[in-house]
Chains A and B, each alone.
Chain A
Amino acid sequence: MTSRKVDIHAIDGKFPPPSAHYQVVVVGAGPAGAEAALAAAKGGASVLLVDEHPVPGHQVGNDVPLFFGGRATPALQNAERMLETVFANMDWLEPVFEAGVEVQLGTAAWGIYRNGPLVGSLPGQVVGLANTEKSWLVGFDRLVLATGARDLPMAFPGWNQPGVMGAMALQCLLTRYEAFAGRRVLIAGSHDLALETALLALDKGLAVAGLVEVRGAAQGDPALVARLAAAGVAIHCGSGLAEARGGIDGVESVVLTDGTVIACDTVVLAIGLVPMIELQDASGGARAFVANRGGYVPVADGAVSAVGLCAGVPDTGFDHVAYRFDWLAALGGACGGDTVICQCEEVTLSDLLGVQPPKYLDRSPAMQARSLKSLLADGPVNQDQIKRLTRSGMGVCQGRRCRDQVAMLLAVQANSELAALPLATHRAPVRPLPLQVIADWDESDEMRAGWDVWMGIPTQWVPYADIGTPYEEENRRVLGGNMSL
């Protein structure tokens, strides 16, 4: 192409190439990520391996990336000590270092950007990284997602208090952070995830007050069930969680649907794991719904692939999605209309199903007459629409605590298969990052020079009465022909 006129207010040429480039970037330094990094390095590639742990204390408080449920010790606030502890507990990293892989802990990946439909302005494919101080972009040829899986939270009366958490979060606090604040845990679920979590808890010296199983029998590996029985841990089958009761420090006991009251300081939801596909999904990558692997999993392409739990939980023939709906029926049945579903935005079950706006807005009679049912008359349910109307999933946890259960609730209400619902969007940054951290404090001269509030068309903002008068020329002269204010 010959010389092409460029709109200086368009994005063309404003993103400089990233300061660093690796042939392979691996996100997540658990065993699967470490193995992928090691293999790439042995193959001669330049490899960067990043892991977000230890995450900053305020992220843990917001249940990012796991459902920590307010049961981490204050040790988390000591970033240096946490880095040492977490590193010491990742002994599988030693051969990775020896193979020449660059390893960065405490470094979160928050966005993958690639040219494609509607974007051609990027200097190649890049991944956005950040620690507690700053953010930066790194170029890559191949990126391996080893981000793991996150907990599937589910509402029941009293779930929105400290002491209700996820199994993956408990495992993380016990094995990586050594910073779990509870002593006596009750575990919801009896599939392998729940059984393994219970055995780990025992191994770490915790009291396990029991397991609760909504179905009629234990669901997991019989060998694990036998080990728990031998340890004297009861599995309460055919029962759900009716309520978590507590005080100022959170959970103190749980009432089962059969009336049993069990003393505990922590309820561990081990109902299911959700592969952490948000980086891939936010970048427009392909995904597939596989019930036996925990829901949506990434579909690999030439540049981005997934390993470990991010690629799906192990397929043992167990239908995780059907199991979750059984739990939803039991816990949802225990919920009242005033049970909070979205903790960040305090959206109750009745407000969600009524598609009502937040409480700081007036609810006119017409508004109160609207509901999910009336909205369904207009077309298929869409979680993003519900999200914007009710604010469920709009909060600082970025929907981690409620998006999966809201999708299930909507599927039930719409009498639809879960996989038939459009997946609520993921958008970068897929981790909450402070403005001052994600900010580009070293942007290109082209970015600054071409910056405009809106489009930079000199005639657009000239007052109508001034069009064709000397004021139009004055407007252009003083404002520089645009609104680059």
Chain B
Amino acid sequence: MSAQKVVVVGGGATGLSAAWWLARSGVSVTVLDKGIVGWEASGRNGGGCSHYQSPLFKEEQRLWPQMDELLGYPTEHCPERIILAVTPRQLEQYHYIAGMNNRLGHRVDLLDPQQAREAVPLAGDNCLGGIHYRFGGHANPQRTVQAYAWALQDLGGRIVQHSPVTGFAASGGKVSAVHATSGTYECDAVVIAAGPQTGRLLAQLGIDMPLAAARAEMIVTEPAPMMPLGGVDGNGLYGRQTLRGNLAYGGGPHEWVEFDELGPAVKPSTPLTRNLARRVAELLPKAAHLSVIRSWAGVIEMTPDGRPVIDRRDNVTFCTMSGVGFGLSPASGHALRDLVIEGQCTFTDIAKLGLDRFAGIEAGWREARGWLPL
């Protein structure tokens, strides 16, 4: 098809990347966002870029080292990761993950306790060892999302903020325009990548995507001395040391939540801050004296199997990354661009991420999993 004019609903990492990829192909793109670009989970997350489980992994790995240059703005991408164990059970699990990755051709080295402490100066005597991903890495979520937005503008793309989508106009079975609070936007094709709002938006087009939303939390400390490699986590945490030195970590129990069509108005933290702080202090005992200076919470959407949906119906292309969207965004945007322009993903097989796998899912799938708000 020839999509000259595309509207992207959702200015998070996935939607902005898709818009940027489309603009690079000469498409006229408008991004609509209910608020500010990257204002939800896309701009506030662990910043990991190491998703070996995804069919987009190879493309993720190929693109990240180039993103600063491709976008023209800094993303703070840094390569590689180390995962430290402080319990025997963790070490066993990490060694399994190392073996699994090596079987799949992704190099992971085992670190004995001495090697781990040398690689991670803030680790302590309680460290039982770790694994070193010779791939992956991390980046700054907020800076990266803004980089996508600016790069898109530099290519002539348009971003309309504070403009929630209110509906769609269809003609001949296809979406011909998107209605938003700021006006109506005609289009040849639409991309919906609106995070937790994706299910509601698709429902207006008769497309049923089962999603449940949850609140997750992170904490951040004052700057610590820079470690040689900032992508360090483990002990039940995800996170990183930022290029400024701050330790930013999340993990632990989530809370299933519900909210209206405009999305969550507030994102409260809970005393989970204390449980996170404990695990960071155990992971990096030589930083235990450093102060926690912030916490934050974000809302992410989950599919029933926790895996993404990247698919298309007529001229509607849609995506949920099921809570793991930031790091994969360079590649998910590419896949969405391919679906819009080529009708299929050109660089990898994503057949198992189709929406059809949930066809006929039981009405009470959330209840069956205990995925209900308190």
* Chain A contacts to B: CB under 8 angstroms: 4-12, 14-15, 111, 113, 116-122, 126, 128, 135, 137, 283-284, 345, 357-358, 360-367, 370, 378-380, 382, 385, 388-389, 391, 394-396, 398, 427-429, 432-436, 438-441, 443, 447, 450-455, 457-467, 471, 475, 478-480, 484-485
Contact = CB atoms under 8 A, between A and B. Distances in A.
A459 B306 CA distance: 6
B274 A439 contact: yes
A281 B175 CA distance: 42
A438 B274 contact: yes
Nearest to B226: A360
Contacts of B265: 117
B207 interface: no
B236 A455 contact: no
A73 to B, nearest CB: 23
B159 interface: yes
Contacts of B322: 460
B159 A378 contact: yes
A464 B352 contact: yes
B271 to A, nearest CB: 6
Contact of B306 (A122, A378, A457): A457
B271 A460 contact: no
**9 tightest A-B contacts by CB?**
A460-B306, A457-B306, A120-B374, A432-B291, A440-B274, A7-B370, A439-B278, A366-B72, A11-B253
A443 B275 contact: yes
B237 interface: yes
A439 B281 contact: yes
A485 B90 contact: yes
B1 interface: no
Contacts of B256: 7, 10
Contacts of B293: 395-396, 398, 429, 432
B362 interface: no
A259 to B, nearest CB: 40
A460 B236 contact: no
Interface string B82-124: 0001000110111011001000100000000000000000000
Contacts of A459: 305-307
A114 to B, nearest CB: 9
Contacts of A360: 243-244
Contacts of B259: 117-118
B292 A111 contact: no
Given A121-B255, A379-B36, A435 B271 contact: no
Contact of A388 (B143, B221, B266): B143
A435 B273 contact: no
Contact of B291 (A137, A434, A454, A455): A434
B74 A364 contact: yes
A362 to B, nearest CB: 6
B269 interface: yes
Interface string B11-55: 000000000000000000000000010000001000000001111
Interface stretch (B185-193, B198-206, B294-302, B334-342): B294-302
A396 B222 contact: yes
Nearest to A459: B305
Nearest to B33: A379
A223 B120 CA distance: 63
A119 B150 contact: no
B289 A435 contact: yes
A283 B237 CA distance: 25
A463 B53 contact: yes
A464 B256 CA distance: 26
B63 interface: no
B234 interface: yes
B8 to A, nearest CB: 15
Interface SS of B by simple majority: mixed
B74 A460 contact: no
Given A427-B269, A447-B275, A396 B305 contact: no
B249 to A, nearest CB: 10
A388 B268 contact: no
A361 B236 contact: no
Contacts of B289: 434-436
Contacts of B76: 361
Contacts of B149: 378
A118 B253 contact: no
Contacts of B43: 388
A362 B68 contact: yes
21 contacts: A4-B367, A8-B370, A10-B255, A10-B256, A11-B255, A117-B265, A118-B297, A345-B244, A364-B72, A366-B151, A366-B154, A428-B295, A435-B288, A438-B274, A440-B277, A447-B252, A451-B252, A452-B252, A458-B306, A485-B93, A485-B236
B361 interface: no
Given A121-B255, A455-B254, 20 more contacts: A7-B369, A8-B370, A120-B373, A391-B244, A396-B222, A429-B295, A440-B274, A452-B236, A452-B252, A453-B237, A455-B302, A457-B306, A459-B306, A460-B324, A464-B352, A479-B93, A479-B97, A485-B89, A485-B234, A485-B235
Interface string B133-165: 000000000110010011100100001011000
B221 A438 contact: no
A380 B76 CA distance: 26
B157 to A, nearest CB: 12
A468 to B, nearest CB: 8
A450 B253 CA distance: 7
A380 B35 CA distance: 10
B47 to A, nearest CB: 13
A377 to B, nearest CB: 9
Nearest to A8: B370
A297 B191 CA distance: 43
A116 to B, nearest CB: 7
Contacts of B52: 463
Nearest to A15: B271
A333 to B, nearest CB: 30
B280 A435 contact: yes
A438 B277 contact: yes
Contacts of B318: none
Contacts of A427: 269, 294-296
A7 B271 contact: no
B255 A119 contact: yes
Q: Which of A385, A453, A460, A464 has the most CB of B within 10 A?
A: A464
A471 B101 CA distance: 12
Contact of B236 (A14, A433, A484): A484
